[in-house]
Structure 1
């Protein structure tokens, strides 16, 4: 039944992109609730691995952004992911940017989004995680945290600390998202003293929370594909200095070089999918050179088949995440990637 997706996709693509997004997720949830997930579940090959010391059944995860509020955890888990990341969540609920804010570029197998961290707030998300069967059964769930749009950039650390404290008790790992292009000035946190201050504050708070909850929850940083080698070197040194547990490379790009001239290419927002593949791989390779396998890398960006997933591993990633590829390929992508990585 999963191979029907190529037949269903044209109908989904006839809808507005965000409408189709919600329709698909709600359909998955109904399928799960009715006990029919086996009809769409791909034949995933599990080969136990680990993510920052956490056992995972396979190395293919869901990237943040698809399920921003943790409303579809169990339905998505049924598709065979080794781990799931939800969010980005912010301290307070916020609507995000005005519609329309998501655009498909089919000729490039890409998306542009400027969602703007639309979410119900971190407390609502944590409650949903606690209620999910996947969480109760020990599934690996990452919580991706960000800052509210109205929070001045000079006070951003406070928002990240609130997010860290709130998700720490339930998260398998926590991702600090400072690389979305859709929140004003957010990417400035990737450089200079701002990043030093942010990571120092989070690392200090993590030690307090570790004692409070008697558990060690890995902390990861998600970075952009548009960084130069000097910036990546600076980030790598700070990751090691503050003993950050992992890094996700990469988020969406602001470059339009690969999609110039296509419909919607001039829309503002982050570009994901095939056009970001090589840029993401470059960041992974440079990170790998600097980190020397001291810190694991999760590779994400432009994975559309098993060979793409394997290329991320060859570049230096330990695990991968997918998002836009699911929009274009459907659940079969998960099976293709787990098969490729079981042989890597």
Structure 2
């Protein structure tokens, strides 16, 4: 039924409008008694539980950052069967993001181009919502992904990240430093080792006992992926997330004019699958076996998730395929993992 709904209705809507409409439904289904009914249908099997970061995940499969920027749909996403929800990216200062349109579907490639620009209500607003969420007896593991406020100069990025960390780390099950989005000017430059080390050390010191991870781009060459991975271990992080969206437009089947019209932004979805898997293997090859590695990028089926787990991922995240697969996506993944 969902493929027909997508083909005839959702695909004709503006992508951002469609996302907000879907989020409204997710929020409604996250409220009891609707959430109880949905969860009874989607609850992951106990055999899928994963212990990582000092936490217990109901399933290795969760929602990547970007889907729920302001921590408003976590209850509904938990009801749908996701093992964790990474909210954000959250910035210290509220910001509206880049001008619209800023989200584009590449349907033949089952992909999306976005240049959202970290649109969110800011760390203080997120802290209020997370405080309420943590009171819930049953909920998904909550990761919080933080980024640099657009108006803050790159030279002052560390202080900006620390400000978010102090507000959000006590309320997060784990915290992620995002230095890899292509949609904030200068952000990816923070992945350079000389600038990344003091940033991570400062955030680590401010985050207390909350597990801390860093998220990297797929566009880094392998030797830089190795260097960042070793740095994450050296400064005492709990893990690493690979990968964010890509600037590459290689091997797309969507008409070139449509791709060109979409313009700048990060590409996510099926075309990222191969590189995301490569980066996962590079990371796992240089970090300790107990170091948490979360793989994201191009994941669509249970076989995709299993392939990442077999390649050394501790956990796996998805986002773009949710748009194409619909609300039962996590259930399909979880059932498939049990069958594998």
Deviation at 1:176, TM superposition (A): 0.6
Deviation at 1:52, TM superposition (A): 1.3
Q: Does residue 289 of structure 1 match 2:285?
A: yes
Deviation at 1:135, TM superposition (A): 4.4
Conserved 8 A contact 2:80-2:328: no
Instruction: Show the counterpart of 1:318.
Output: 314
Q: Does residue 231 of structure 1 match 2:232?
A: no
Alignment of 1:211-250 (within 5 A): 216-250=209-243
Deviates more, 1:148-157 or 1:192-201: 192-201
Deviation at 1:169, TM superposition (A): 1.5
Alignment of 1:249-288 (within 5 A): 249-259=242-252, 261-266=255-260, 267-288=263-284
Alignment of 1:1-344 (within 5 A): 4-10=1-7, 11-33=9-31, 35-37=33-35, 38=37, 41-42=41-42, 44-46=44-46, 47-132=48-133, 135-137=136-138, 139-206=140-207, 210=208, 216-259=209-252, 261-266=255-260, 267-342=263-338
Conserved 8 A contact 2:50-2:57: yes
Conserved 8 A contact 2:243-2:296: yes
Give SS of 1:311's match.
helix
Query: Separation in 2 of the partners of 1:134 and 1:278?
Result: 39
> Taking structure 1 as reference, are residues 24 and 310 closer, same or farther at Cα in structure 2, changes over 3 Å only?
same
Deviation at 1:333, TM superposition (A): 2.3
Conserved 8 A contact 1:89-1:125: yes
Query: Separation in 2 of the partners of 1:240 and 1:95?
Result: 34
Deviates more, 1:194-203 or 1:125-134: 125-134
Conserved 8 A contact 1:189-1:195: yes
Conserved 8 A contact 1:59-1:341: no
Deviates more, 1:186-195 or 1:328-337: 328-337
Deviation at 1:35, TM superposition (A): 3.2
Give the RMSD, CA atoms, in angstroms.
1.9
Give SS of 1:158's match.
helix
> Taking structure 1 as reference, are residues 69 and 139 closer, same or farther at Cα in structure 2, changes over 3 Å only?
same
Conserved 8 A contact 1:94-1:117: yes
- The count of residues paired between Structure 1 and Structure 2 equals 333
Q: Which runs of 5+ in 2 are unaligned?
A: none
Deviation at 1:341, TM superposition (A): 3.6
Conserved 8 A contact 2:301-2:333: yes
Q: Which runs of 5+ in 1 are unaligned?
A: 211-215
Query: Separation in 2 of the partners of 1:304 and 1:225?
Result: 18
Deviates more, 1:89-98 or 1:48-57: 48-57
